[in-house]
Amino acid sequence: MNKLLVAIIAGAFAFGSVAAIAQTPATSTGDTAKAKADKDAAAAATADPSQGDKRFWEKMTPEERKAWRTKKQKELSQTEKAGNPNAPAKAASIEKSAEATKNQPKLSDEARQKALTQTEKSGNPNAPAKAAAISKSAEATKNQPKLDDKSKRKALEGQEKESSGQ
């Protein structure tokens, strides 16, 4: 029985592949050549010698190379000048954060080990908070009326009709 099922699935897959290939339009050699030329033109237009495109660099004249280097140097100097535009404010916020957490008690080795063990068991670093949220949700919904089987089927049929557009 299993062999028959596998054979049927393999046959359906093969038939589907043949049908998909049959629907794909064949390209002529002219179309292929045009597509390759378009691809090469696009690559040449966006080529950048700094990305290791040696063909682009070799095709450049010495004047073009000099202009390219000047442009890149100008961009680099602008980046260096801009740097971090608000470095003092960033440093102040880091200092403020460090100061705020400086006096907080450190976890003991025993507490760290307990948290690590709990994380390893559950696979969730914040398992207690997640468990509390789940139990809170259960408490909030426990007094709501439950649907019987007939109501569930009716709701599912309504959703199916909505999704099919009827």
The pair of structure tokens assigned to 125 is: 């670093």
Average pLDDT of the residues in 91-101: 83
Give tens-digit pLDDT for 36-79: 888 877 766 666 666 666 777 788 888 988 998 899 898 888 87
Q: How far is the C-alpha of 130 from the C-alpha of 137, rounded, in Å?
A: 11
Q: State the pLDDT at residue 135.
A: 81
Cα angle: 73, vertex 75, 77; to 5 degrees: 70
pLDDT at 108 over 80: yes
Whether pTM > 0.85 for this model: the answer is no
User: How many helices (H) and strands (E) in the chain?
Assistant: 8, 0
Q: Taking the CA atoms of 119, 123, 125 and 127 in sequence, report the sign of the dihedral they define.
A: negative
pLDDT at 17 over 80: no
Contacts of 84 (CB under 8 A, 6+ apart): 90
Give tens-digit pLDDT for 141-163: 778 777 778 887 888 888 787 77
Q: How far is the C-alpha of 121 from the C-alpha of 18, rounded, in Å?
A: 49
pLDDT at 132 over 70: yes
Residue by residue, DSSP assigns 61-123 as -HHHHHHHHHHHHHHHHHHHHHS-TTHHHHHHHHHHHHHHHHTSPPPPHHHHHHHHHHHHHHS
pLDDT at 126 over 80: no
Q: Residue ranges of the domains in the chain?
A: 48-82
Q: State the pLDDT at residue 93.
A: 83
Cα angle: 44, vertex 50, 52; to 5 degrees: 70
Average pLDDT of the residues in 109-114: 83
